[in-house]
Amino acid sequence: MCGIAGWVDWERDLTEERPLLEAMTDTLVPRGPDAGGVWLSPRAAFGHRRLVVIDIEGGVQPMQARRDGEQPCVLTFNGEIYNYRELRSELQGRGHQFRTRSDTEVLLRSYLEWGEQCLSKLNGMFAFAIWDPNRQGLLLVRDRLGVKPLFYLPYAAGALFGSELKAILAHPIASAEVDVEGLAEVLCINQTPGHAVFRGIRALRPGHYAWIDRRGCRELRYWGLENGGHADDLPATTEAVRELLEDIVQRQLIADVPVGTLLSGGLDSSAVTALATAARNREGRGRLATYSIDFEGNQENFQPIAIRPEQDNPFARMVAEHVGSDHTELLLGTDEVVKARSEVLRARDIPGLADTNAAQYLLFREVKMRSTVALSGDGADEVFGGYLWFFDQRMLNAATFPWAVSVAGFEPVLDPELWQKLRLREHIADQYAQTMAEARALDGEAPADARIRQMFYANLTRWLPLLLDFIDRMSMRVGLEVRVPFCDHRLVEYLWNTPWAFKTTEGRVKSLLRNAVADLLPTAVLDRKKTSFPVSQHPAYEQTLRQQMRAELADSNSPLLPLVRRQAVLDLLEGPLGAQGMWRSADTLSLLLQIAEWLRTYNIRIR
């Protein structure tokens, strides 16, 4: 796992631009703390920061390789290719000779052999760039589900790219400008495909590649969700899911560094943990490391709500004991969560879910002290249908994203003129309409099934990429590689066309997954309801939020003041900060505080 950055330009000699390229690459040191490298040529320049996971000695980047009689192509790569061993054997059969054991060289030689057609052969999570001097063009690629990020800024004479926005913003061509649409994305915590908040910068969409040459930039799709039939009956489907999961987890355990799992005690992370333990046992390897978190005071202060009906740790302990893992419980303090919010902002470069992101960051920081790779259960709810909104008819039939921020809570506190310009309700409505237009029903599909298909499509293309963005940015900020087995494209493709009735037999949520791993887990875990990622419920946390917001509003130089109605925010501070559906008043305060720090730290110009 790594960080990549680069630059192509048709009008200047980039061999003279090492300081600028190094400045871009240096912003990514947390993603790749183990090593770094740069490569320069007249038209293209690449940077790389490396987190060593496979082939410690041989996987140095940027990497070069050539076809017979041609100039060498150059690769800078972030991610993992899980089927690299099979691809290596196939390429050797076609005459390729390898200098390393790395998946990096397999990826580069796959391009040499098949060009862009190699993308259909890759199994993994990846974002990479290849400079092909023979075609005088740059290829940018992002994996099918968007597990790994990649941003780019095209301009008249070339383009910049990077794993994170900060790499592009480190270049003087880029500008930290945000227009009204970008600010709406921030306030709605939206993940519009291709949108990167900052003016001019694009996020390469999942399942797409971009080709950039003298004629300009083209972004093309190489993978997407395709409607089709499902031939297997329920027993065969259950068996197929189990076989897929076993193969996926087996592949994702491959590493030359310590590997663990993130174990909440929920069905998804417990299934991954049990499958990983079984795979290690087959290979005669030692006990699997597992990790869970809780917050100081949650035993006394925990209050169940619809999305968080119970605490995790009793179930995590149960699973750890059941599989015999080497389990670590991490206890986070309220003051740690508050302090982590600044680091969270610098990790993501734009505001997000401050509380959840801070908890993720702190968890990953602690895990990194013991493991370099961790497998996660994220993605299971999106592919098996585990969220409340798949079953609550009110949420299912609402003409909006069920996870959408309640923008009505922003209307009283935002400056009235800004509120009118932002059009937050219209922004979400437009994005929802576009999503629904993309989600095609099967011919002859019943309306109820077509609606479920639409909900799956929205989850996989709008909600999941946001969650994956959070995971990548928080984990890579501490140099931890998080792998997501449920996002393997083979599983996603299979489940996309699996009938909804198979996923909910006897009215049981995620029954297909539960039945596929029934022999691996305790009954209490198999029957457990979904519980969302934990956050601090300590009264001291809300008190700190109130204090920080009062201090922000008292600062006459605060960049937040032109955006809000000061008295309305003060009034909000006087009321309860508890849950309002999925969104709390505390979340509104956290987001506004993040926006203030973002505007100040990144010197944002709002147009």
The rounded distance, in Å, linking the Cα atoms of 108 and 115 is 10
The rounded distance, in Å, linking the Cα atoms of 407 and 428 is 9
User: Which position among 2, 118, 188, 487 bears the catalytic label?
Assistant: 2
Spatial neighbors of 601 by CB under 8 A, at least 6 apart, are 345, 346
Two structure tokens written together for 253: 């355990």
Active site residue 188: no
Two structure tokens written together for 234: 């329920």
**Type and span of the H or E element at 498:** none
Closest CA relative to residue 429, chosen from 463, 398, 459: 398
> For the range 213-218, what are the long-range contacts, defined as Cβ-Cβ under 8 Å and sequence gap of 24 or more?
213/135, 213/136, 213/137, 213/138, 214/10, 214/136, 216/154, 217/152, 217/154, 217/159
**Radius of gyration for the chain, computed over Cα atoms and rounded to the nearest angstrom:** 24
Closest CA relative to residue 503, chosen from 581, 593, 390, 393: 390
Which residue carries 């417990």 as its tokens?
270
Strands 151-155 and 158-162: antiparallel
The rounded distance, in Å, linking the Cα atoms of 120 and 67 is 21
Q: Is 158:8 a contact under the CB 8 Å cutoff?
A: yes
Spatial neighbors of 315 by CB under 8 A, at least 6 apart, are 264, 265, 266, 270, 524, 525, 528
Residues forming the active site: 2
